Amino acid sequence: MPSYLFWLFSTVMLIGGVSVIAFRNPVSSALSVVTCFVGLAGLFIGLSAFFVGVIQILVYTGAVMVLFLFIIMLLDLKDEEKAAKPLLPIAAGIALVAAFTVQLIGILSRTPNVIAPNLDKETLAAAASGFPATSKIATTLTQGKLPDVHLIGHTLFTQYNLPLQILGVLLLVATIGVVILSKRQAD
């Protein structure tokens, strides 16, 4: 990705993130989160992870945040718009930020400082030898394109098959639980 695009999208993300806490109006804050997510999707796409970027928009921006906004609008929050600075939440927030910073430093210090290989035609063609010659992944790789959707599917269904199935069951349990809870409330 050209570096100026990286700077553009990270600036968008940072502005979105800061304005989430800077705005008093909850709806504005929710829209700032949306801006932040769009910037994040831009960063993913810049790293050739098209699928992850698009799913980021589809799931988080297009569905999850819409529901957030929906609830905020329905509740019609008024108290949050008043200027209030209680001490305890601020202290807790600073403690959280500090904890995450320590964690980030810990991870970054252990990450080896290697530059990822360029996704040019030679590297991709060399990677194709790891797959059956007639498969879709191998043919796309030899053409010099990154079949990111196929690769994600291949990895998920060959290396992480059991965790994937367990995740599916977990989500099903959550869905059924929500239905039962909402039905009980209606009764």
Partner 1 sequence: MPELIFQIAIIVAKIVILTFMVVLPLVPVSVYFERRFSAVIQDRVGPNRVGIPLTLFGFKKDFHFFGLIQPIADGLKLFLKEDFTPAHVRKAFYWMAPALTVVPALITVCVVPFGSPISIFGHTEKLVIADLDIGPLFVFSVASLSVYGITLAGWSSNSKFPFIGGVRSTAQMISYEIALGLSIIPVIMYYGDLNLSTIVQQQADHGWLLLPLWGHDADHTFTSKLLFWFPAAIAFLIFTISIFAETNRMPFDLPECETELVGGYHTEYSSMKFAMFFMGEYAAMVIGSALIITLFLGGWSIGFGLDAMVANLHIGDFYFGGLIHLGCFMTKLIGFILFFILVRWTVPRFRYDQLMKLGWVVFFEAALINVFLAALIVAAPQLKGTIIGIGAVLLVIVTAAVIWVAKVSEETPKVLRA
Using CB under 8 A as the criterion, which residues of the chain lie in contact with partner 1 when the complex forms? 27, 31, 34, 50-51, 54-55, 57-58, 61-63, 66-67, 69-70, 73-74, 136, 145, 147-149, 186-187
The 8-class DSSP code of residue 187 comes to: -
Supply the minimum distance, in Å, between the C-beta of residue 86 and partner 1: 27
Tell which residue, 48, 42, 2, has the closest CA to residue 141. Answer: 48
Nearest approach, Cβ of 50 to partner 1 (angstroms)? 5
Reported residue count of the chain is 187
Least CB distance to partner 1 at residue 8 (A): 16
Written as one letter, the residue type at 130 is G
Candidates 25, 60, 22; CA nearest to 41 is 60
**Alpha carbons 142 and 121: distance in angstroms, whole number:** 7
